[in-house]
Amino acid sequence: MSETNPATAEVAAPHRYTAAVAAEIEARWQDFWDADGTYAAPNPKGDLADDPGLVAKPKKYIMDMFPYPSGAGLHVGHPLGYIATDVFARFQRMTGHNVLHTLGFDAFGLPAEQHAVQTGEHPRVTTEAAINNMKSQLRRLGLGHDKRRSFATIDPDYYKWTQWIFVQIFNSWYDDEAKQARPISELVARFESGERAVPGGRSWDALSAAERADVLGEYRLAYASDAPVNWCPGLGTVLANEEVTADGRSERGNFPVFKAKLRQWNMRITAYADRLLDDLNELDWPEAIKLQQRNWIGRSEGARVDFPIDGEAITVFTTRQDTLFGATYMVLAPEHPLVEKFTPAAWPEGTHDVWTGGHATPAEAVAAYRAQAASKSDVERQAEAKDKTGVFTGAFATNPVNGEQIPVFIADYVLMGYGTGAIMAVPAHDARDFAFARAFELPIRCVVEPSDDRGTDASTWDDAFVSYDAKIVNSHGEDVSLDGLGVTEAKARITEWLQDKGIGEGTVNFRLRDWLFSRQRYWGEPFPIVYDEDGIAHSLPESMLPLELPEVEDYSPRTFDPDDADTSPETPLSRNQDWVDVTLDLGDGRGPRPYRRETNTMPNWAGSCWYELRYLDPHNSEKLVDPEIEQYWMGPRAGQPHGGVDLYVGGAEHAVLHLLYARFWSKVLYDLGHISSPEPFHKLYNQGMIQAFVYRDSRGFPVPAAEIEERDGAFFHNGEQVKRELGKMGKSLKNAVTPEAICEEYGADTLRLYEMAMGPLDVSRPWDTRAVVGQYRLLQRLWRNVVDEATGEVTVVDAEPDETTLRALHKAIDGVRQDLEGLRFNTAIAKVTELNNHLTKAGAAVPRPVAESLVLLIAPLAPHIAEELWRKLGHTDSVVHQDFPVADPRYVVDETVTCVVQVKGKVKARLEVSPAISDDELEKVALADEKVVAALDGADIRKVIVRAPKLVNIVPA
Ligand code: ANZ
């Protein structure tokens, strides 16, 4: 027990590995590594081209999702991924790679800004303080980062290039024929030369500057538009679809979100929908994340079909054109622009009462229903369980396959933003249409043969019959019949028919929407955009970047009335007249002119869309990244046809936000020739979460976890019994444990080992401070196997290890190597522990080669103690760049295996042989065995079947 009692331990063993020793070693080596530049990763050229020897090695680019510098600092849950990538990076360094591993800060964002609104303190001040605090917390963990490459997204040197990229995107369009982004100037040239027709039919020359700007706005990859947006008064800003939860609230802060019409910047990410989908196939990402991206992009193959009405047509988007004969009514989104056009002055004769909603005229009914729909979010409108509401418009359209007149409704379950905002309703085979048809007493017609016993009379059904694998019935018109076809054939047949008639076509529809890219906030990148006197947007030339954030008095956005279409939010930047109204010479030949700056800022996702590129060449003032340097670290290569970071580790919550946006920016930059890698992250890995116990009192409030007493399996706080549950770790749940606390009690190496040993990296696990000591003991035993605790002398001997020790060593080397390569850090630690225990049990002084290998094995996991022991073993260069041990295969295999020898199919002998034995050798040994000789009894041998090392089958003549 003395090892847990520091007081006696120090007397008996003054050179024992203790928290104090760990603290001293760790601080010393961290200082050394910093001063030495041990983790510097050289570039092939430029200011970081300082080690051609290392550059010549194969590269590995290992990256973490960088943190938002929260004022609360880190708890022990945060660094899980950072430690894992550090272990992996160290292992890669020791296996002959030039390893780039660094960490920056994603530092624009709402918390610092909310704080600024409340206190008036500049968000830069709080953000920088938080960064410095985090840096010192992280430094203590001994992470081997190349610190020369670190930056924060709020650094003007960095956001200069975020703005520059915005300018490139603004000045590009997507060429559907070439399937790539091209400079907008090429499009202008095509319009000018007449090679491409100008939409609207006029010639380019005949258009005014404003008209030209409008035309180009329809093509630019970054464009401003008046569109219904997600307006969040609680945050005073609009939000991207990806930032709105399934219940129609803001992901951050959980405030309600409303639809409002506002002029906003958007990114035309939809142009890339197909490529974003296709390229997923080449990426080494968790299937779950790929699936989330596929669903978010939501590719649907279907058809557009025109339903004639009053000499015009309502176009619907359907994925079930095979069910056209079952369409018994139509529905338009309430906001659909054609609604007024076809709405008659009075209800047609005999209009069903339930269709009118009790209104005197169609116009009244439509107006009342629109007002009701506007107050709901898209998500509420689409909820499956919700009662179906709607109202008849008074109009009828023609079903083109059978000439039937079918009523046209408006209903909020049809959304304006998807497809064409209009549907044909097939109540027999769509659950929502079924519910609506029942509520409005509309006909339900079966056109897909049910595979159950409900029969084909749909008026008797309780629900819709939905199947993609059934026969079409009741579907024949004058010149087309689908009867008897399967769903797929019927789709093809009817699509062809529609196309021939010129009333429809096969089409692909995406769920993905363009990315809403402006925010009405202060703490973000200003847009590099100014408006001239005609209101035309111009991008700033590179020489005017970075456009820095102005100082303001008041950081708060002023909200506006979301019901009033004419008001818009007042952004913090707009209040600063001196900054907003400027005279500039944009270098476009028009000379100095007055302009008004864009006063929105970019969303906090902008900075993380390209940071993997800036780490590569962080000080380049000419380019965002030098092409040769980008090619070296990220360029396409065997097995990585789209290039990208070799390993990117972070949480699964970024599946459709950051990870989709970053892929999009990479593709644009790739198309424009700025980078060689169309994908940013080749391999993605999601680490699990470190969870923690939460203790709640009788009112359900969390009480401090550190003050809990456990008695007989029950938990008490100040004598009161409390409930324990597993939850997140954090200040609000009063269960946060800081890395400093653990470092103080045991040292950073112990903390690192504990986090890696807790379980497989991708699995969530509960933190248990009491279990940390297990890893501390491992390090103490490791130390004791090399250093005499009484004298501090190194105890290893220059002797050959015995056979069992050699076997234990090489098995460990082999296993640890494979585990580290496969990110199985918990099992790697188990193997190191086993070897260390073997040496402890052996009791004798450890042979030098074994001790050295052991130190090298643990070096990626516990780098400080490894560096210290390595030096104590007499080495003068760092353990960081040593070669990782390689197992000798002779000692890795099990000593012997049992070989069964059969004669005439019966087992006659069992032999202990080497697993590496050859077929020939095994045959000889088998035939020489006494029992086999006896069984054969001199008979001639017809055949010997050998399956080394496990089986020999002898067939006598
Ligand atoms: C007729 C039909 C029959 C449909 C049937 C489905 C089943 P996905 O797969 O998500 O693309 N739809 C089209 N536009 C819509 C809109 N703006 N708002 C709400 N619903 C809309 O879904 C495509 C299907 O969703 C389309 O196919 C259409 O209903 C509906 F047995 O058309 B379907």
> Smallest Cα–Cα separation from 898: which of 921, 920, 922?
922
530, part of any domain: no
**800-844 per-position pLDDT tens digit:** 999 999 999 999 999 999 999 999 999 999 999 999 999 999 989
For ligand 1, whether the C-beta of 320 sits within 6 Å is yes
Residue identified by tokens 């809990």 is 708
Q: Identify the residue whose C-alpha is closest to ligand 1 atom 2.
A: 320
> Smallest Cα–Cα separation from 868: which of 33, 1, 7?
33
Q: What confidence score (pLDDT) does residue 568 get?
A: 67
Domain boundary among 475, 510, 545: 510
Q: What confidence score (pLDDT) does residue 251 get?
A: 84
For ligand 1, whether the C-beta of 421 sits within 6 Å is yes
What is the C-alpha to C-alpha distance for residues 605 and 387, in angstroms, rounded to an integer?
37
What is the C-alpha to C-alpha distance for residues 667 and 113, in angstroms, rounded to an integer?
31
Distance 295 CA to ligand 1 centre (A): 15
C-alpha triplet 644, 647, 653: angle, nearest 5°: 100
Q: What confidence score (pLDDT) does residue 1 get?
A: 39
Q: What confidence score (pLDDT) does residue 560 get?
A: 64
335, part of any domain: yes
351, part of any domain: yes
Q: Average per-residue pLDDT in the chain?
A: 94
Residue identified by tokens 């993609």 is 468
What is the C-alpha to C-alpha distance for residues 311 and 675, in angstroms, rounded to an integer?
52
Q: What b/e sequence results for 186-210 when a residue is b if at least 16 CB atoms lie within 10 Å of its CB, and e otherwise? A: ebbebbeeeeeebeeeeebeebeee
What is the C-alpha to C-alpha distance for residues 591 and 822, in angstroms, rounded to an integer?
60
Mean pLDDT in residue range 50-67: 97
Count of domains for the chain: 2
For ligand 1, whether the C-beta of 509 sits within 6 Å is yes
Select the highest-mean-pLDDT range: 33-37, 552-556, 710-714, 909-913: 33-37
> Smallest Cα–Cα separation from 266: which of 4, 515, 17?
515
Given a cut of 70, whether residue 8 has pLDDT beyond it is: no
Residues recorded for the chain: 957
Domain boundary among 466, 482, 510: 510
For ligand 1, whether the C-beta of 445 sits within 6 Å is no
For ligand 1, whether the C-beta of 473 sits within 6 Å is no
Residue 832 near residue 816 (C-beta atoms within 8 A): yes
> Smallest Cα–Cα separation from 21: which of 877, 873, 878, 864?
864
DSSP letter at 387 equals P
Distance 765 CA to ligand 1 centre (A): 42
What is the C-alpha to C-alpha distance for residues 860 and 879, in angstroms, rounded to an integer?
9
- What are the DSSP calls for 646-671, one per residue? SEEEE-GGGTTTHHHHHHHHHHHHHH
728, part of any domain: no
List the CATH number of the domain containing 405.
Answer: 3.90.740.10
583, part of any domain: no
814, part of any domain: no
**187-196 per-position pLDDT tens digit:** 999 999 999 9
Q: Identify the residue whose C-alpha is closest to ligand 1 atom 20.
A: 414
What is the C-alpha to C-alpha distance for residues 754 and 769, in angstroms, rounded to an integer?
10
Residue 638, CB half-sphere, CA atoms under 13 Å: how many? 1
Q: What confidence score (pLDDT) does residue 410 get?
A: 97
What is the C-alpha to C-alpha distance for residues 275 and 667, in angstroms, rounded to an integer?
9
Given a cut of 90, whether residue 216 has pLDDT beyond it is: yes
Domain boundary among 510, 536, 558: 510
What is the C-alpha to C-alpha distance for residues 597 and 573, in angstroms, rounded to an integer?
9
Q: What confidence score (pLDDT) does residue 564 get?
A: 55
For ligand 1, whether the C-beta of 418 sits within 6 Å is yes
Q: What confidence score (pLDDT) does residue 730 get?
A: 87
Q: What confidence score (pLDDT) does residue 494 get?
A: 97
Distance 229 CA to ligand 1 centre (A): 23
Given a cut of 90, whether residue 381 has pLDDT beyond it is: no
Q: What b/e sequence results for 20-37 when a residue is b if at least 16 CB atoms lie within 10 Å of its CB, and e otherwise? A: ebbbebbeebbeebeeee
Check residue 52 and give left, alpha or beta (phi > 0: left; psi -120 to 50: alpha).
alpha
Residue identified by tokens 């939809």 is 270
Cα of 535 vs its chain's centroid, Å? 38
What is the C-alpha to C-alpha distance for residues 723 and 705, in angstroms, rounded to an integer?
11
Q: Identify the residue whose C-alpha is closest to ligand 1 atom 7.
A: 430
Inter-CA distances, 1 with 6, 346, 843, Å: 10, 94, 19
Given a cut of 60, whether residue 7 has pLDDT beyond it is: no
155, part of any domain: no
**122-171 per-position pLDDT tens digit:** 999 999 999 999 999 999 999 999 999 999 999 999 999 999 999 999 99
**774-794 per-position pLDDT tens digit:** 999 999 999 999 999 999 999
Residue identified by tokens 């001639």 is 940
Q: What confidence score (pLDDT) does residue 2 get?
A: 39
Given a cut of 50, whether residue 929 has pLDDT beyond it is: yes
pLDDT higher at 916 or 198? 198
Q: What confidence score (pLDDT) does residue 13 get?
A: 87
Best residue among 320, 382, 384, 433 to mutate for probing ligand 1's pocket (most ligand atoms within 8 Å of CB) is 320
Domain span at residue 423 reads: 299-510
313, part of any domain: yes
DSSP letter at 803 equals H
Given a cut of 50, whether residue 753 has pLDDT beyond it is: yes
Calculate what percentage of the chain has a pLDDT beyond 70.
97
Given a cut of 90, whether residue 558 has pLDDT beyond it is: no
Distance 286 CA to ligand 1 centre (A): 30
Q: Token pair for residue 341?
A: 């056009």
Q: What confidence score (pLDDT) does residue 590 get?
A: 93
Best residue among 423, 445, 463 to mutate for probing ligand 1's pocket (most ligand atoms within 8 Å of CB) is 423
Distance 457 CA to ligand 1 centre (A): 23
Mean pLDDT in residue range 871-879: 97
**245-288 per-position pLDDT tens digit:** 877 888 888 888 887 778 899 999 999 999 999 999 999 999 99
For ligand 1, whether the C-beta of 832 sits within 6 Å is no
List the CATH number of the domain containing 947.
Answer: 3.10.20.590
First to last CA, the chain: 70
Inter-CA distances, 606 with 108, 323, 652, 914, Å: 9, 44, 19, 61
DSSP letter at 196 equals S
> Smallest Cα–Cα separation from 313: which of 338, 343, 347, 348?
338
Inter-CA distances, 352 with 394, 407, 458, 546, 552, Å: 10, 11, 21, 64, 61
